[in-house]
Amino acid sequence: MKLGFIGLGIMGKPMAKNLVKAGHDLTVFDFKEDAVEELVADGATEAKTGKEVAEKSDVIFTMVPNSPNVEAALFNEGGVAEGLTAGKTVIDMSSINPLASQGFAKRLAKLNVGFLDAPVSGGEPKAIDGSIAIMVGGDKDLYEKNKDLLEIMGGSVTYVGAVGAGNTTKLANQVIVALNIAAVSEGFALAKKAGLDPKMVFDAIHTGLAGSTVMDAKVPMMIDRNFKPGFRVDLHIKDLQNALDTSHALHVGLPLTAEVMEILQVVKNDGNGGDDHSAIAKFYEKINDLTID
């Protein structure tokens, strides 16, 4: 099948590679030449614009940082929309404001082009091995038509409702992950200040009720002082801002999310915006004069 992929970042690049490995004819575009060259070496075809990607593809995937980036990729001069024809499909896998997703779907519908919002969760390791979770919003028949493609990139692909539902689900996910990292950091800061070995505490509690995927993935990183980004602080700030914007539009109170957002801002202001979001622990280390190691 002729596919296109725009956005070859930490997540997008391995996801695109998995489509190539599955035998699909993939055309790619990104401003990062090294990422494009890596995909071309794996068998993909380079495009110079989003328009060219759309012209050569039946289904076009976008995986970029935020709503304005998706809009630019789709509708700027030389963008995807200029190369679309009726019957093609755009699947946006970015994590963005669900209201923006709904707006993009309406604009593409005028071209008789289908649209799914299909954000992902799981971080770079799961993107590499094809086991990310994908939550999909849009027309159910369009979802069924493209489910096999999504399953190449994800271990869990779930339809959650109309356009925008995918990103609303992702925002809920990001709220829970951020609060979980903060809770883990707070608990392990207490243990370390009390003179305990964080590794021993982890071994004691990670299989109990306090255990979680977040604890299993992030506490070893904190202990090893390994903040190489699987998901950057900067991107989690973006996601929580989208969550807060959406909650305000819906008149929903998210007080804990707002508090963790402020913690993330401190982490970013200390120069750690490019770190993995497990660097939330650095805030607790800073205020308590300790390190969780």
User: What are the phi and psi torsion angles at 121 (to 5°)?
Assistant: -140, 145
Among candidate residues 145, 146, 142, the one with its CA nearest the CA of residue 162:
142
Check pLDDT > 90 for residue 284: yes
Ranges of CATH 1.10.1040.10 domains, the chain = 168-288
This prediction has a pTM of: 0.91
Q: How far apart are CA 91 and CA 78, in angstroms?
A: 18
**What pLDDT is stored for residue 68 in this prediction?**
96
Q: Catalytic one among 17, 126, 170, 238?
A: 170
Name the residue type at position 24: H
**What pLDDT is stored for residue 1 in this prediction?**
84
Instruction: Confirm whether 193 is a catalytic residue.
Output: no
Average pLDDT over residues 14-29: 98
Check pLDDT > 90 for residue 263: yes
Could you give the 3-state DSSP secondary structure of residue 221?
helix
Check pLDDT > 90 for residue 86: yes
Rounded mean pLDDT of the chain? 97
Strands 25-29 and 45-46: parallel
Can you name the CATH fold of 2-162? Rossmann fold (3.40.50)
pLDDT in tens, 176-205: 999 999 999 999 999 999 999 999 999 999
For 168-288, CATH number out of 1.10.1040.10, 3.30.800.10, 3.90.550.10, 3.30.56.10 equals: 1.10.1040.10
**What pLDDT is stored for residue 37 in this prediction?**
98
Q: How would residue 123 be classed by pLDDT, with cut points 50, 70 and 90?
A: confident
Check pLDDT > 90 for residue 85: yes
**What pLDDT is stored for residue 165 in this prediction?**
98
Q: How would residue 221 be classed by pLDDT, with cut points 50, 70 and 90?
A: very high
Other C-beta atoms lying within 10 Å of the C-beta of residue 43: 13
**What pLDDT is stored for residue 230 in this prediction?**
84
Q: How would residue 62 be classed by pLDDT, with cut points 50, 70 and 90?
A: very high
Ranges of CATH 3.40.50.720 domains, the chain = 2-162
**What pLDDT is stored for residue 48 in this prediction?**
97
Check pLDDT > 90 for residue 122: no
